[in-house]
Structures are given as structure tokens and as C-alpha cells.
Structure 1
Amino acid sequence: MAAPVSTKAAWKLQEITAHSSNVSSLVLGKSSGRLLATGGDDCRVNIWSVNKPNCIMSLTGHTSPIESLQININEELIVAGSQSGSIRVWDLEAAKILRTLFGHKANICSLDFHPFGSFVASGSLDTNIKLWDVRRKGCVFRYKGHTQAVRCLRFSPDGKWLASAADDHTVKLWDLAAGKMMFEFTGHAGPVNVVEFHPNEYLLASGSSDRTVRFWDLEKFQVVSCIEEEATPVRCVLFNPDGCCLYSGFQDSLRVYGWEPERCFDVVLVNWGKVADLSICNNQLIGVSYAQSTVSSFVVDLSRVTKSGSVPHGLIRDDKPLVQPTPTGSSLRRIYDRPSTSCSKPQRVKHNSESERRSPSSEDDRDEKESKAEIQNPEDYKEIFQPKNAIFSTFLLLSILIEPVTAKEAVKPNQAVEVQTPLPKQELPDQIQRPPIASSTPVTRAELSVIPAARNEPIGLKATDFLPAVKNQSQTELVDEEAVSQIRKGHETMCVVLTSRHKNLDTVRAVWSTGDIKNSVDSAVAINDLSVVVDLLNIVNQKASLWKLDLCTVVLPQIEKLLQSKYESYVQTGCTSLKLILQRFLPLITDMLAAPPSVGVDITREERLHKCKLCYKQLKNISNIVKNKSGLSGRHGSAFRELHLLMAVLE
């Protein structure tokens, strides 16, 4: 279990006073890693952007302290549970209350959004788990089985299961469509604080106050391995996006674990204290903690952390590892069957179902009117939530104008829908035998049975309610035809521009599919359209490992043009790309130029030296632009000042 200890890979990012009273809960957005929500004893939910000092939005309406928070995967909705047992769902983009849900008799300890459907799961101190349909304001089902407070809930990546962790030392796995428990995992000797599904495989991780992390196989229903004898209770866990390792947050450190066999790859010392949540963005792990009314955020540079045989940043020579990574090998377990599409966010629609007739009341409506979403910082609000609408609208426009759905690609209305059984058939104890939710023969939507068993709440769901909806082709074509006719009116020039841009992007994508990044960038540059270069750089910037020295020689002249562009988005992309190049390659360039001449003939070194000289010349030209623009005010001025400091070595 011994592992290297790193202290330089982590640093404190920010400390803010988040509430007028004690902070009781906080959560990070998992999509961007930059959205932070805090709940306090002042009964408010405040929304922040990580590394910005001002509150963006304040959500009011709860009359007791906030106990639990969760942000949905698209970072459009947030749900908050209170000490009194009430739950409120807000629409962040529309800045308004969406739903108020009542039913629990005690504190809400845990919440989670379904990855596709319009459902929220809640766990309470009253030991119950409830599944809510946000569209209908109603409780879909109540899962009973835990004997103490339910501390953590997680939906599986395929949306078919729900895992729960509780103070009764157990982890339970629930089948959503069958409406009953699939299995109970026992083995922890203390309250289980957190549970997390592997992003790809049938594997579940749980962390407990007994200072252990356990890994469970979801096919064989048995423990895979157990990490024991840590110094403090496990507060939060998070799988790496590619599933190679598990990050675990403790009082004074971040630990990186493997499970077959169990081992600790790395220990990063982080004095974050009461760490509450972790998220990953751009190869950086963000951690947030709280103490009284203060919230602190921390950053761990994952490129400098050892994980599953990878090589920490810095152990490279001309962008090649000194030690080749150990191959992770193929998956040992089944992979989740994910749908290829996602559902839209819940809409206020009318239903004639039993749940819709019984759930609304004048009390609920009055409560929603009293709940408010107050925008505290309009500029930050627009910067965070409006760009997503603009990007979505652009892609929607492109898909409608240029790539209409063909009859072969669309799903026919009467086409059979086959429901995949999450787990293979196997012998289980009678009391937890999992009922089949689908036969091997495909069945239509109309034939899917309603969830069985007796219930106390209004029901009316089918297995397909936990999967994205399939559109009717005739309706889709009609809507698309109307949309195209409306959009084209008075926008012929825009349509021509978008069609041309799409054609150019298709050309670049064809080269990209070969795996040659350098040639992809060359083709984008040859097209002589900066918008295409920007689109490509926005993708490359997401993964620093794609950058190579010869790529810099091609991109730097384009960055020079972007920094002088009149379009803010072009300038922002140019600054991001330049910052990545400076952080990754400037030390290599300066070291190569300062090194004494080599003795003998070394062709590889000569080629590298030539590239370094070319990059140095281009960076000198760009440094003059950066210096002139560093005096600007606003967001871009701050970015240019940061770049100016990074480029100081060139002077």
C-alpha cells in the first residue's frame, strides 16, 4: 500500500465567505467542474463560479437549513433538500423555481438526478428513499430497506439502477424498473458516507467512516477488494473519467487507488479539511471544503499525479515518457449499455394520470410562488449560462439546415424497442431474486408492463420511462420542415456561411479520423478560415496531451491572428492555446536554446533544436501583442496580463 507522497501537485485556489451563517452542504457541477452550489443554515442556496469571488445567484424559499444539494449533468437544474424534509428544484438557466416536493418526514441527507429521465432520488434521515417525477410533481416510488439515515445516492451510468449508502453500514442496489432491491452489500464496519459507480464497468466503490474503501462487482455481487487502515474517514470518492483509478478525499490528503489488486498509486497532501465534493475538468481535480461560513476550493494537477501506471508530468523528454506506461488491459467486467441520446429537461406539461391529479395543491403553488431565484451578478450569470444556449442553438441550426434526418436513420413509430437486461441471469437468494423486466424477444412500448408491487404513492411508469424517448419520425420531419422554412426567412446569407463552414469542418474531420493531429491542424490552416481553426483548437485545448512541439510551430502563427481578432471568442481561444503552449513547452524551448552545442551528429536533437528556434521566434512576435494588450480592462485584460508574466523569460 505504500505510495509516493506529493506536495507540489496541489494548491489552494480560493476562500470565500459563502453564507451569513454556517455552511451545511455544497456540491460541484460534474460537467464543467467550475460551477459550485452552497447551502447554509440561513436556508439559502447560493450559486458560484469556482475561482470567482461573487455569488452569481441566490435561491430562496426553504424555511429550514439546507442539508443536501445536487446539480444535474447538464448543469441546468439544481435540487436542494432541507432539514424539514422538503425538496425544491430550480431551473438555473431560467432563474426560477421549477418544483417543490413534499413527502419525507425528516432531514434530506442525499439527492441525485437521473442521467436521462426527469427523475430525482432523495434519501432521508427517516430511512426512506423516494423517486420523484419532476414533471408531475409526484413521488413515483418509495424504497424501504435501510434502518438508518441514507447518506448517499447514485444512479448508474445507464440509468437502470440506484445505489444507496447508509449509516446502517450497508450499501444497497435497487432496480428502478422492477421497483425492488437487487442486492445488499455488507462488510463495512461503520456508516457508509459515499458510493460511486465506475463510469464504464459493472463496478461500484463505497467509502465509509470505518476508514476503508470497498469495491463491489455488480455481476457476481461480491467484494472485489478493500483498501484498509487509512488514517481518517473517507469523505468523498470519484472515478477518473476513463475509469483507470479512484480518487478518494480524506481530511488532509487525496489518495489514488487501484482495485485489482488493491493498491495506492499516489498520495497528494492537501490540507482541505472537511472536503465535501470532487470534480475533474481539463486534467485538473477540483475539491471543495467548508468550515463554519467559509468555503475553500483546491486544485490538484492530475498530470503530476501517478495513476494506474501513468507517468507524472515532468518525466518527459521531447514529449515522450522516460518510462512507458503499464497497459491497463481490457475490461474485466461488462460495460454499461448507454442510450445514444439524452432527454430534454423537465417541462411543465399536463398529464391526466393519477399522480398529476393527486399531487398539485394550492399549498404547493403558493410555496413555489414564494420561492425565488435572485440573480446577484448578471455578468457572471450570462457568462456561465447564456453561452451554453448559444452553442446549443448553433448546433441545432446546423443539424436542421445541413443534415436533415433521413428515413433510414429515423426510428419508425411502430418499430420494436428491445429493453436490455442490466445483469446476466444468475442464481440469487430467493428474497432478492431479481424479476425479469424484459424477455429475449423484442417487445413494443405498449407491451412494457407497469412497475409491479403495492405502493402508497401514485404510480404509472414503464421501464422505458428510464430511457430517452424515441421521436416519431413523421412528427420530426414536420417540425424540421417548419423550422427550416422559418429560419431561412431573411437569413440566406447566414445559411450560406454555415453551410460553407460545415463543409470545411467535414474536410478537417476526415483527416482527424485518421488519428493524425498535425495533419488535421495543417488542413484547417490551409482552408484559410479562422473560424475552422478556432473550432479545432477548442477541441485540442480540452486535452493537453495532444499538444506536440511540431504542432506548436503550425499553431503559433494562427494564435497571433486570433489575439488580434475583433471577435471575443477568437481572442479567448487564442489566449487559452497560448497559455497551454507556454506552460508545456516554454521551459523545453529555453533549455534547448541555452544548452551547449552537441558533439557529433545527432539528427533528432538538431530537428528538435530547429523547432525550438522557430517557436522562439514566433513567441517573440506574439509577446509584443501580449504586452500591448496587457493594459486592457476586463476579462481579456486579466488573461493578457497572465500571459505577459509567463512570457517574461523571453525578454
Structure 2
Amino acid sequence: MAASGATKTSWKLQEIVAHTSNVSCLVLGRNSSQLMATGGEDCRVNLWSVNKPNCIMSLTGHTTPVESIRFSAAEELVVAGSQSGSLRVWDLEAAKIFRTLMGHKANICSLDFHPYGEYLASGSMDTNVKLWDIRRKGCVFRYKGHTQAVRCLRFSPDGKWLASAGDDNSVKLWDLSGGKMMAEFMEHTGPVNIIEFHPNEYLLASGSCDRTVRFWDLEKFQMVSCVEGETSAVRSIAFNPDGCCLFSGAQDSLRVYGWEPECCFDVVPVSWGKVADLAIRNNQLIAASFNQMNVSSFVVDLSHIKKSRSIIQGQIPGDEVLPQPVPKGTTIRRNYERPMTTCSKPERVKQNVESERRSPEDGRRSPSSEEDKDDKESTAEIQAPEDYKEIFQPKNAISRTPPRNSEPFPAPPEDAIPDPSVVQEAVKPIPTADLKIPVPSKNKVCMRNNPRKVSLSSTLKSIVIPPPQIPPSSIGGFPKTKRFFLINISNISFIGCVMKSNSQADINDDSAMSQIRKGHETMCVVLSSRHKNLDTVRAVWTCGDVKTSLDSAVGMNDLSILVDMLNIVNLKPSLWKLDLCTTILPQIEKLLQSKYESYVQTGCTSLKLILQRFLPLICDTLTAPPSVGVDITREERHQKCKLCYQQLKNLSNVVKDKAGTVGRHGSAFRELQLLMVGLD
């Protein structure tokens, strides 16, 4: 990052508390790059203006957590899919529910609006892709071909094709007018999280958990190139508007790729964590990420990013220079022919697609009473009227697209960069009338100018904070005689322990430090023991193999050690063997029933890998006819498979019980339940 505000490459716009529970999805409006919608485990959809802390509109109606969300091309509609498989479409200009669509049997994982017609595509954990006519509340077609959850859907810029990607490592291309699958790309070795069409050419990009970005030629239906520079799973990609390069939002960095030949033009460090969506406006890349209840937005100035094919980051002068980029306006592939009007309705499906039953009267489907009830219970509450009026103007006869502010987001000056630890919350500020901070006299030392001359005891004495009105349920296990607060005075943060007593007792530095350190000794003992156990496991791994080290971790009877080990093994599925399954499956049951969220997540990931890699082998081995003669190797494999089968049957009851839970892990358990169908 540059040293001055004038040459700043990237900066953080803001961080807000977006929901009352964990955020599960978000999307940026690609038309304006100024609208953002978030979905949470509180079953709400909240609408935001980028760079403003107040929620513009809160949309309700879903009864289960929102899993996927998407704006229409003109940003006048937003659709959200939930864990129950229902879809709700809201009209943002009218501030009301527009449609409720029912039909999926599991979580909605992906959504996309048709760029011209009144159609909507949805992908689910039930492996189906559905095309909806949102004017008539009807499902037009059901595309079947994926074998696992469909994670991303995208319509082509001309509206003739639909691309889908999923956890089965595949990318599929569907012809909407012909109702059939045109191509299937299976080169990825991990689940495919994101796909994007080139804005002009017949080219498709896909990002996967295998840490690669692949480019596909849509004329020859073959892979053009593969970029392998990512350090983590690829979750967000976006083409530059002129199509000269592709941006990939990696963990704490932005990468700029070319594909012919494949190369990385630039890498920009940005501390955005796991970025969830990207949008481009006025030569600025807008990014958003979420963590628990917080949502952060960032800006990258693309005028300072290398996007040329003739300059590669880190190239040494004198090296061979790559050919100059293809001039604008000339491409090596066909360009999309965008229609002037809305697309015609797709024809009846012929293969790989199942059409839904339609009632007579021009295919119009009568809405069910359940859907009518859902519409009545869905609301759109405007929470910031001024921001709403600024963005959404009344509809006019020419265009439904609301006017947008085309000003770029300015970079903050260096002395005005906000503390990243401070999170803005869209609620009324706490009144500060009771906060008494005496102003130091001229003879006293100013803490801000000379902090070393101010003792901790004098600082604690100078602050009088009345106990806030905290409900007993939120206090937890803290002693009733103490309250802990985070106090920020003159941009200097410290933790104060305010003793509840009738008289103001003198506190010296030693007693203040002893209060702050209270409880640290216990934590240090726990961490020291854990570090010692991890050193033991590492020594066993170095001398033996993965199986031996995992056996030692299990023998320690410490789930934290096992979780640390599994987090490493899960990153490389090739380390998994059938021997490991017999050792780990009993431990996975403990992890799934743990009260710690990270333990449950690790257990779900490990069980998913085992089911994907070994369930077919286990079922085939147990159902195979007995061999003639003595085959010791086969008998050993049969015994291991039989043991694994029994352990998986026990786990299936746990998964079934937790599949109905609400929250982030409810989705994971429902996915595991689908994978365990083969046990029956």
C-alpha cells in the first residue's frame, strides 16, 4: 500500500454490524456497485448503501436462515433463498414482497436473474437447477445433471445460456432455448465455488477449492488455461469491464490474471479476509467480506494495478517481454450478440431436463394458499428513509433503473484511517451523559501527549463509569462484584476493571495489574499442555506416518489436539486412507456433538471427505460376492469396510438429529444427510 493518500492502492471503507446473528451470505449490486444486500441466520435480508452505516431496508418473511442472495440486473429486485428451499423476491422500489416461490427440497445455494427476460435460476443442495418465471410464480424447467450441491449459477451476457457449478467438481453449460446440456467441464479436482462469463467473448472462468482458476473456450468447449497461484480456495472472481483481465479475491490479497498465456499480472495485499463478492465501478474494485455478525467493505484503485500483458509483476529488466496485448475491439473469439428486447420463452425440454407440470390458460399457475400466506407475512421495512429516497426514485415510463451516484469512493487521508478494531453498528449511540472524564489542568500531564508519565492507577482513578443496565442472562459466569469494560479515550484503548464498592478505594499499579492478569495463569497452563502434546504428535509424525500420529492424538484424549491434526489432514484429501477412517470415525461423533463451533465444523469437513472418498468403496466391498480361495488382503479390507459401515450407521443418527437445527451447521448436516443416503 502506498504511503500517501494520493497514491493509495487499497483502503477499508467501513465495518458494520449487519445482523443480530451470524451473516451467512452477501452480494453487491453489479449495476451501481453502491448497493449491498446481506442475509443472516436471523432469517432477514438487509439492504445497505456501500459506505453508509445505516440499514436502508430490512426484508422479512423467511422462517429459516438465508443462504443465498442476488440482485436483478437493474437492481430493482432482490431474491433470497433459505435453508428450507423457499425463494422470496422483493420489489425494492415499491418496498414490498413481489413473489414467493416454493419447490426445492433442500438449501438454496445459488441464484441468478436473467439479464433480459423475467426469469430466475436457482441451484440447491438437492442437486437440481430450476428456471422460474417470476411473473407467473411458476417453475419452467428443472435441469438435472449435478450429483452434489449447486454452488453457483450465471446467465450468459446474451441470455441464451446458463452455466452451473457445484460440489461435484463440475462446470455445466445449459442451452436455454434447446433445453439441453451443451458442455460439461470436469477438469477441476475440488468443488467449484464461482463462475463468471467474459463480458464480451465466448469465454468462461471458474474458481475452485482446488486453488485454481480455469478458463474455458465456449466455441471449442475446451480449457484455455489454468492459473495455479492461489493460496486458498477461490471464492470470488470478476472480469474487468473491458475484458482485459480477471480479478480474483484471495485470502487477504487481490490477484490479477491473464489467460492467453496464463499469467499473474499483479498481486495487491488487502486485509479483507475471505472476500465474499466483487464489483467494479469508476475504475475502482469494490469488495465485501463478512465474519460472524460483521460486514466489511473495501476499495482497490484499479488505476494503480498492472493489467497489461506486456508487464509482469517482478519481471527483471532484460528478460524476454511477452507479446503486446490484443488491441481493444479485436478478439480471437466470437462476441455475444445481446438482444434488443427481452428473450423469448424457452422451448420445451428434450433431454437432461424435466419440465414442471403447468396448468392450462397459457401456462399460468394458480398460486397456492401457502404461497399467498407467505406473501402476506413477508414485509419490507424502510429503516433509513433519506437514504432510501436518495437511491430509489419513483418509477418512470422510461426506465426502472434508479439514478446512481457516479462519484468514485475517495481514499481517506493517512491521519483519518479508522481503527480496524472499531466496528460501526447501525443502532442509536449509547448516551454519554453519565460518562464523567475530568479535564486535566494545565499543570497536569496530558496522557495523550506523554503516555509514559501517567500510571495505570491514576488512569483508573480518573474514570467514573456507572454500571450499565445489562440483563442477567448476558452476564454469564462473571462474578457479580466485577464488571469489565473496553474504554476508548483519545484514541488510546485499555481494559479497566472497575470494582463495585461503596467508597472509592485507592488502586496502585500492582493491584491493577493483578486484576488484569487474573485468570491468565490457568490459560497459560492449558496452552502449555496443548503445545507439549502437539510437539509429541509432530515427533511421531516425523518418525512414523499419519496413521500413527493420529493414533497418538486420539490416545491423548484431548479433542483440541485431534482438531488441530484433522485441520491439517483435511487440507490434503490424498492423505486419507481406509485405516484412518476406522480410527477417526468414533472421534468424529464426539466432535459433532461438541459445544464448540470449530470442533463441529472440523467434524463435518472430515466426515464429508470420508463419505465422498470411501462410501462407494465400502458399499461395493460389502455387496461383492465372496471370493474363491483365501485372499488375506481382501479379507482385511472387508473387515475394515464392515467396521466403517457400522460406525457410519451410528453417525447417521447423529446427523439426522442435527439436520433440522437452525444456523450455519444445519446446512452442513443436511448436506451430510444427503451424502449418507447410500448407506441404506
TM-score greater than 0.5 by the shorter chain: yes
* Aligned partner of 2:369 among 362, 366, 376: 362
Q: Deviations over 1:381-408 (max 9, x none)?
A: 000011775984999xxxxxxxxxxxxx
Give the equivalent residue in structure 2 for 1:372: 379
CA deviation after TM superposition for structure 1 residue 113, in Å: 0.1
The residue correspondences of 1:251-270 to structure 2 (distance < 5 A) are 251-270=251-270
Find the aligned partners of 1:185 and 1:287 in 2 and give their Cα distance. 28
Which amino acid is the alignment partner of residue 247 of structure 1? F
Find the aligned partners of 2:209 and 2:60 in 1 and give their Cα distance. 33
Give the equivalent residue in structure 2 for 1:9: 9
Give the equivalent residue in structure 2 for 1:45: 45
Q: Deviations over 1:536-582 (max 9, x none)?
A: xx9xx96xxxxxxxxxxxxxxxxxxxxxxxxxxxxxxxxx69x99xx
* Aligned partner of 1:328 among 326, 329, 336: 326
Find the aligned partners of 2:271 and 2:211 in 1 and give their Cα distance. 18
Which amino acid is the alignment partner of residue 269 of structure 2? L
The residue correspondences of 1:68-147 to structure 2 (distance < 5 A) are 68-147=68-147
CA deviation after TM superposition for structure 1 residue 366, in Å: 1.2
Give the equivalent residue in structure 2 for 1:186: 186
Q: Which moved more, 1:362-371 or 1:334-343?
A: 334-343
SS in 2 for 1:68: strand
Find the aligned partners of 2:30 and 2:360 in 1 and give their Cα distance. 34
Equivalent residues of 2:93, 2:395 under 8 A apart: no
SS in 1 for 2:97: strand
Equivalent residues of 2:208, 2:233 under 8 A apart: yes
Find the aligned partners of 1:354 and 1:256 in 2 and give their Cα distance. 52
Q: Deviations over 1:248-300 (max 9, x none)?
A: 01111110000000000111111111211000111110000000000000000
Q: Deviations over 1:32-66 (max 9, x none)?
A: 00000000000000000000000000000000000
Equivalent residues of 2:359, 2:365 under 8 A apart: no
Give the equivalent residue in structure 2 for 1:154: 154
Find the aligned partners of 1:209 and 1:354 in 2 and give their Cα distance. 46
Root-mean-square deviation over aligned CA pairs: 3.3
Give the TM-score of the pair, scaled to structure 1. 0.56
Equivalent residues of 2:26, 2:38 under 8 A apart: yes
Find the aligned partners of 2:391 and 2:364 in 1 and give their Cα distance. 37
SS in 1 for 2:371: helix
Find the aligned partners of 1:371 and 1:394 in 2 and give their Cα distance. 24
SS in 2 for 1:14: strand
For structure 1, list consecutive stretches of 5 or more residues without a partner in the other structure: 313-322, 345-350, 396-534, 543-575, 584-651
Give the equivalent residue in structure 2 for 1:303: 303
| Structure 1 pair 229–84 and aligned structure 2 pair: CA distance change class (3 A) | same
Find the aligned partners of 2:342 and 2:117 in 1 and give their Cα distance. 8
CA deviation after TM superposition for structure 1 residue 169, in Å: 0.3
Equivalent residues of 2:121, 2:132 under 8 A apart: yes
SS in 1 for 2:388: helix
| Structure 1 pair 363–377 and aligned structure 2 pair: CA distance change class (3 A) | same
Which amino acid is the alignment partner of residue 388 of structure 2? Y
Structure of greater Rg:
2
Give the equivalent residue in structure 2 for 1:288: 288
Find the aligned partners of 1:152 and 1:95 in 2 and give their Cα distance. 27
CA deviation after TM superposition for structure 1 residue 225, in Å: 0.2
2:340 equivalent to 1:340: yes
Find the aligned partners of 1:389 and 1:73 in 2 and give their Cα distance. 17
Give the equivalent residue in structure 2 for 1:616: none
Which amino acid is the alignment partner of residue 41 of structure 2? D
Find the aligned partners of 1:25 and 1:393 in 2 and give their Cα distance. 26
Give the equivalent residue in structure 1 for 2:535: none
| Structure 1 pair 393–81 and aligned structure 2 pair: CA distance change class (3 A) | closer
SS in 2 for 1:368: helix
CA deviation after TM superposition for structure 1 residue 308, in Å: 2.6
Greater fraction helix = 1
Which amino acid is the alignment partner of residue 360 of structure 1? P
CA deviation after TM superposition for structure 1 residue 354, in Å: 5.4
| Structure 1 pair 272–355 and aligned structure 2 pair: CA distance change class (3 A) | farther
SS in 1 for 2:340: coil
| Structure 1 pair 234–220 and aligned structure 2 pair: CA distance change class (3 A) | same
Equivalent residues of 1:286, 1:299 under 8 A apart: yes
| Count of residue correspondences | 386
SS in 2 for 1:386: coil
CA deviation after TM superposition for structure 1 residue 228, in Å: 1.1
CA deviation after TM superposition for structure 1 residue 358, in Å: 3.8
Find the aligned partners of 2:203 and 2:289 in 1 and give their Cα distance. 27
The residue correspondences of 1:206-285 to structure 2 (distance < 5 A) are 206-285=206-285
CA deviation after TM superposition for structure 1 residue 172, in Å: 0.1
Q: Deviations over 1:48-105 (max 9, x none)?
A: 0000000000000000000000001101000000000000000000001010000000
SS in 2 for 1:196: strand
Equivalent residues of 1:167, 1:190 under 8 A apart: yes
CA deviation after TM superposition for structure 1 residue 303, in Å: 0.6
Which amino acid is the alignment partner of residue 377 of structure 1? A
The residue correspondences of 1:186-205 to structure 2 (distance < 5 A) are 186-205=186-205
Find the aligned partners of 1:279 and 1:383 in 2 and give their Cα distance. 21
| Structure 1 pair 140–232 and aligned structure 2 pair: CA distance change class (3 A) | same
Equivalent residues of 2:256, 2:266 under 8 A apart: yes
CA deviation after TM superposition for structure 1 residue 357, in Å: 4.9
| Structure 1 pair 393–332 and aligned structure 2 pair: CA distance change class (3 A) | closer
| Structure 1 pair 37–204 and aligned structure 2 pair: CA distance change class (3 A) | same
SS in 2 for 1:135: coil
| Structure 1 pair 213–311 and aligned structure 2 pair: CA distance change class (3 A) | closer
CA deviation after TM superposition for structure 1 residue 328, in Å: 2.4
| Structure 1 pair 9–150 and aligned structure 2 pair: CA distance change class (3 A) | same
Q: Deviations over 1:352-395 (max 9, x none)?
A: 84575544111111110110001011100000011775984999
SS in 1 for 2:271: coil
Equivalent residues of 1:85, 1:104 under 8 A apart: yes
Find the aligned partners of 2:361 and 2:307 in 1 and give their Cα distance. 51
For structure 2, list consecutive stretches of 5 or more residues without a partner in the other structure: 313-320, 345-357, 414-680
Equivalent residues of 2:110, 2:151 under 8 A apart: yes
Find the aligned partners of 1:221 and 1:18 in 2 and give their Cα distance. 42
Give the equivalent residue in structure 1 for 2:64: 64
| Structure 1 pair 58–243 and aligned structure 2 pair: CA distance change class (3 A) | same
Equivalent residues of 2:234, 2:248 under 8 A apart: yes
Q: Deviations over 1:563-614 (max 9, x none)?
A: xxxxxxxxxxxxx69x99xx9xxxxxxxxxxxxxxxxxxxxxxxxxxxxxxx
Find the aligned partners of 2:70 and 2:362 in 1 and give their Cα distance. 24
| Structure 1 pair 310–35 and aligned structure 2 pair: CA distance change class (3 A) | farther
Which amino acid is the alignment partner of residue 166 of structure 2? A
Equivalent residues of 2:258, 2:265 under 8 A apart: yes
| Structure 1 pair 8–390 and aligned structure 2 pair: CA distance change class (3 A) | farther
Which amino acid is the alignment partner of residue 298 of structure 1? F
| Structure 1 pair 57–250 and aligned structure 2 pair: CA distance change class (3 A) | same
Q: Deviations over 1:316-352 (max 9, x none)?
A: xxxxxxx9x94423201011111134589xxxxxx98
Equivalent residues of 1:136, 1:355 under 8 A apart: no
| Structure 1 pair 145–378 and aligned structure 2 pair: CA distance change class (3 A) | same
| Structure 1 pair 392–142 and aligned structure 2 pair: CA distance change class (3 A) | closer
Equivalent residues of 1:137, 1:356 under 8 A apart: no
Equivalent residues of 2:136, 2:365 under 8 A apart: no
SS in 1 for 2:392: helix
Find the aligned partners of 1:225 and 1:294 in 2 and give their Cα distance. 36
